[in-house]
């Protein structure tokens, strides 16, 4: 299984949740804290113990993000 990870720029995020809906691995959730714009931003939540929730680097989240707040890394 391919491995990847993402980095979300929390201060660019407007908390729309599109990336959360798009992720087939449920590796993204809403943060409980607020960003500088006053939104609850998305945050990466990879659970290392669960193969089912390991980011594959598929980039669906980054493609969906209207604010280009997500960078995807593979390898
Ligand atoms: S790259 Fe794919 S698997 Fe990884 S967090 Fe984004 S949508 Fe989920
Ligand atoms: S799609 Fe982009 S703006 Fe929307 S919650 Fe995800 S990171 Fe934030």
**Average pLDDT of adjacent 10-residue blocks, the chain of 75 residues:** 90 98 96 98 85 90 98 93
- Residue ranges per domain, the chain? 4-74
Q: How distant is the alpha carbon of residue 3 from its chain centre?
A: 14
Give the pLDDT score at 41. 98
Q: Which ligand is nearest to the CA of 25?
A: 1
Give the pLDDT score at 11. 98
Domain range 4-74, its CATH number among 3.30.465.10, 3.30.70.20, 3.30.420.40, 2.30.110.10:
3.30.70.20
Which residues neighbour 47 within 8 Å (Cβ) at sequence distance 6 or greater?
27, 53, 54
Give the pLDDT score at 4. 94
Give the pLDDT score at 34. 98
Give the pLDDT score at 1. 66
Q: Which residues have CB under 6 Å of ligand 1? A: 4, 6, 22-23, 25, 27-28, 55-61, 72
Give the pTM: 0.93
Give the pLDDT score at 51. 76
């Amino acid at each position: 299984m391919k491995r990847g990870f993402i980095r979300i720029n929390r201060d660019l995020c407007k908390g729309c949740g599109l990336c959360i809906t798009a992720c087939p691995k449920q590796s993204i959730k809403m943060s409980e804290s607020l960003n500088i714009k006053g939104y609850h931003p998305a945050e990466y939540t990879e659970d290392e113990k669960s193969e089912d929730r390991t980011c594959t680097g598929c980039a669906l989240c980054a493609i969906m993000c209207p604010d280009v707040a997500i960078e995807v890394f593979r390898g």
